[in-house]
Structure 1
Amino acid sequence: MDVSLLDSLDGQVALVTGANRGLGRQIAADLEELGATVYAGVRDPDYDAPGHQRALELDVTDDEAIRAAIACIEVEAGRLDVLVNNAGIGGPRASTLVDDSVEDVDAVLATNFRGPVVLTKFALPLLLARPGGRVVNVSSALGALGEGQSGGWAPYRLSKTGLNGLTVYLHGEFHSDGLLANAVCPGWVQTDMGGEHASTSVEDGADTPVWLARFAPDAPAGLFWREREVIDW
């Protein structure tokens, strides 16, 4: 697919959640390399952000922390061009929904789905202030409706299906206002969640999310991507 890309993100502002490790840390580093002012959303208030990134205390399960983080960006930067909803947890893996505790279900849905919904809600006024604001939702093929939905990971699968739904909603509601919302499956990545035997390096896993963050205002949106190709929901 022929996609219009921004060669540089100079002058633009990006917020990456879960930026203290793994995929989020790599995405944040790559966006900074492209020239963006990067806010590294992390739960640890003492996190020492690398490079020129700005550590931003942000727990996506805490509504007041979300409000404060967006307010901080608005006051300090006055704009937000890219939101990468990356923060996530795996939760129970081998068990089925019958066996999963309600507490586990709540924890996964709160972090992986409700958190991005609420954060995006409060970020939208900044993202819509200029044509071409981007939302990149880090999802998973495990949440695709056509993938059979079996083999464990019940709360995780459901949370990612919901995240894909958020992507479609954002596209339907706000694309005419200039918003570009896309979802991405980074693959089985060598992170704490994916494990050391995963097939995809952190660098390769970050490639497509960062590529989506470079989309120009006339680029495609409302789609699900993997390795820079559209995949089925």
Structure 2
Amino acid sequence: MKHVNDKKTALVTGANKGIGFAIAQGLGKIGFTVAVGARDDARRGDAVQRLRAEGVDAFGVALDVTSDDSAAAAADTVERTAGRLDVLVNNAGISGRIDGGTQDPTKLDLDVVRAVLDTNVFGVIRVTNAVLPLLRRADSPRIVNMSSSMGSLALRTGPIMAAYAPSKSMLNSITAQYARQFADTNIIVNAGCPGYVATDFTGFNAPRTPEQGAAIALHLATLPDDGPRGSFFDDEGVVAW
């Protein structure tokens, strides 16, 4: 039996650790029911238990963003469990292999590029489109795509990573395309940069905590109905593209 949920529900992809877990935690603490999207059953279950122990209303959603079938099944799980979806945070992302100069543009391994795009860009499209019917039924739907200033053509920050950085440039571009498509609707979509955060992604060698990295996602997930659309933000404001 599907229970009628009067609490807003958010799906966070890649929510079992790092910034994704901190986003799930933050949304839970401000009253959202949180759908913890993650590939690994054990890690997902552990994350849900940790969130529930903190008083967050959380449930797990099996989700491999590189699979069309998995994205469709995840949408069904959210509908069956919560009956609604108000916020989608596309957080799942990979850096891709960097061993042996793999992401040096002059000797770029195209299989690495494909793998990175499949998660960081195609995965966002897969999941977004799978849950769109649910989001369209919400009063104030929000989509947050977690990007990186490394994808900024203006800033060109971080190390040379010719698979990862362009994947974030493309994610920013697809965010703008969705925003244009949703211009006459109540769906607000933006991209957010968490900054340089200590996670396993950065070898925990970074100045910002996952909670600090999650703050921009919480902000964009709870924008008012007249909030900005189709732009790229960090804690300081708009990021140069």
**TM-score normalised to structure 2 length:** 0.88
1:45 aligns with 2:50: no
Amino acid at match of 1:89: I
Q: 1:74 aligns with which of 63, 73, 79?
A: 79
Higher relative contact order (CA 8 A, sep 6+): 1
Whole-Å separation in 2 of the counterparts to 1:202 and 1:149: 20
Whole-Å separation in 1 of the counterparts to 2:118 and 2:143: 19
Q: 2:199 aligns with which of 160, 181, 191?
A: 191
Amino acid at match of 2:204: E
Whole-Å separation in 1 of the counterparts to 2:157 and 2:34: 35
Give deviations 1:77-136, integer Å, cap 9, x for gaps.
221100000001111445413323222111111111100011111111211223420000
Aligned 1:1-233 pairs, distance under 5 A: 11-46=7-42, 47-48=44-45, 49=48, 50=50, 51=52, 52-93=57-98, 95-148=103-156, 151-233=159-241
Shift of 1:149: 7.3
CA contact (8 A) 2:14 2:37 kept: yes
CA contact (8 A) 2:116 2:167 kept: yes
Whole-Å separation in 2 of the counterparts to 1:85 and 1:66: 12
CA contact (8 A) 1:135 1:181 kept: yes
Runs of 4+ in 1 over 4 A off after TM superposition: none
CA contact (8 A) 1:131 1:177 kept: no
Classify the secondary structure of the residue corresponding to 1:193.
helix
Whole-Å separation in 1 of the counterparts to 2:205 and 2:76: 40
Amino acid at match of 1:31: L
CA contact (8 A) 2:155 2:240 kept: no
Question: Aligned residues, how many?
Answer: 224
Shift of 1:217: 1.6
Which residue of structure 2 lines up, in the alignment, with residue 3 of structure 1?
A: none
Shift of 1:230: 1.2
User: By percentage of residues, which structure has more helix?
Assistant: 2
Whole-Å separation in 2 of the counterparts to 1:41 and 1:104: 24
Shift of 1:147: 2.3
Amino acid at match of 1:64: D
Amino acid at match of 1:45: D
Structure 2: runs of 5 or more not aligned? 1-5
Amino acid at match of 2:28: E
Amino acid at match of 1:42: A
Structure 1: runs of 5 or more not aligned? 1-9
Give deviations 1:45-79, integer Å, cap 9, x for gaps.
23321213111110000110100000111222221
Whole-Å separation in 2 of the counterparts to 1:150 and 1:223: 21
Amino acid at match of 1:70: A
Whole-Å separation in 2 of the counterparts to 1:73 and 1:55: 9
Whole-Å separation in 2 of the counterparts to 1:131 and 1:203: 27
Give deviations 1:176-226, integer Å, cap 9, x for gaps.
111110101110100111222212111111111111111122212211101
**TM-score normalised to structure 1 length:** 0.91
Whole-Å separation in 1 of the counterparts to 2:151 and 2:61: 29
